[in-house]
Structure 1
């Protein structure tokens, strides 16, 4: 009878250990899936960044984030637009363009109302633009005499707000920490499960023989 009790206790202990190993293996698989998924997202984001940099270099493309509601409802606050740099004289009424006046540091992105030649003559290569925000009741109070402008090609609503948030120091710091941990984890040496299982089998055989 005592031998049977000892055997039952050993069996229950072995079952508990097996259940614990199964739970750990499931948790490890879930963590591995999370790690691989996150690294895949980072890789895709890297490819998108490379494509964006290449397009910016060869096509004079850039992105503009709408921070005010002057172009609503078609261009809400937080929208992001892809723009391509073109000569200002190639703009047409109805186009949406970003311009930077001489001496100014902030882009103005409004709809083109009219395009006229520079009074100083065509040799300047500039054009005089009249712009107006879609949500504004009147045209901009100033004219924009510029040689080039960023013409809006397409727009994605709300994405710009996320882009601006990701440029913040807190997000960059947290993202760097998470990526560093995941990269270190992916290269961390893994234990061989066979070596861990062998001692348990050996102990089980000794218990059975005794």
Structure 2
């Protein structure tokens, strides 16, 4: 009767290595989630005309503080109603304004256009100009402070640093590693293990 050759038990790496490995997996998961979010935003923009606006002034506080991120959708200007929050742009060269709609009137000089009166929630008076536009971007939802995070991530320093960290993280996770085995006095050394089909000296066999 042959004695089966048992394999040595393998042991996991030190706790620090295991922790780094888990951190790498979590990092890749986070990057995957961010990638999916970016793809979803691109699809939403293409299919539903949804884009994003960052509040950079306090004219809409306290409801929409500086740094809030708003999702907006292109709509005909005539479909807006008082109380809506809309982003409008008088000309292609002018700065977009995101304020609350006070009144909407048909524009007699433009078929399908509208004359909008807007006002910032924190302002004491209405905007000093009328907005004669064909379309506007109506706000759907806003998330406080999210815009500050997005703007920070777009800085060259953050983009460069994140690229280097991502490359290092991917290299660490996917770099091939050699399995280590723990020496155990209860297991025969590899050079002393009996080859298959042979019985070590001193080992008796059943008749």
TM-score bracket for the superposition, by shorter chain length:
0.7 to 0.9
Answering whether residue 37 of structure 2 is matched by residue 52 of structure 1, we say: no
5+ residue gaps, structure 1: 1-20, 206-210
Equivalent residues in 2 for 1:136-155, closer than 5 Å: 136-155=123-142
Aligned position for 1:14? none
Answering whether residue 14 of structure 2 is matched by residue 25 of structure 1, we say: yes
CA distance in 1, matches of 2:106, 2:78: 7
CA distance in 2, matches of 1:173, 1:146: 40
Q: CA deviation at 1:103?
A: 3.8
- The structure-2 alpha-carbon separation of the partners of 1:68 and 1:121, relative to structure 1 and needing over 3 Å to count, comes to closer
Q: CA deviation at 1:197?
A: 4.9
Measured against aligned partners, the alpha-carbon deviations of 1:80-104 in whole angstroms (never above 9, x if no partner) come to: 0010110000000000000111143
CA distance in 2, matches of 1:112, 1:78: 21
RMSD: 2.1
Q: CA deviation at 1:186?
A: 1.8
CA distance in 1, matches of 2:183, 2:97: 68
Higher helix residue share: 1
Measured against aligned partners, the alpha-carbon deviations of 1:174-208 in whole angstroms (never above 9, x if no partner) come to: 111111001111221111213x759xx749x9xxx
Equivalent residues in 2 for 1:53-132, closer than 5 Å: 53-122=42-111, 125-132=112-119
Aligned position for 1:37? 26
CA distance in 2, matches of 1:103, 1:176: 34
CA distance in 1, matches of 2:61, 2:107: 30
- Report the count of equivalent residues: 179
Aligned position for 1:9? none
CA distance in 1, matches of 2:58, 2:51: 21
Length-normalised TM-score, structure 2: 0.81
- The structure-2 alpha-carbon separation of the partners of 1:167 and 1:105, relative to structure 1 and needing over 3 Å to count, comes to farther
5+ residue gaps, structure 2: 1-10, 193-207
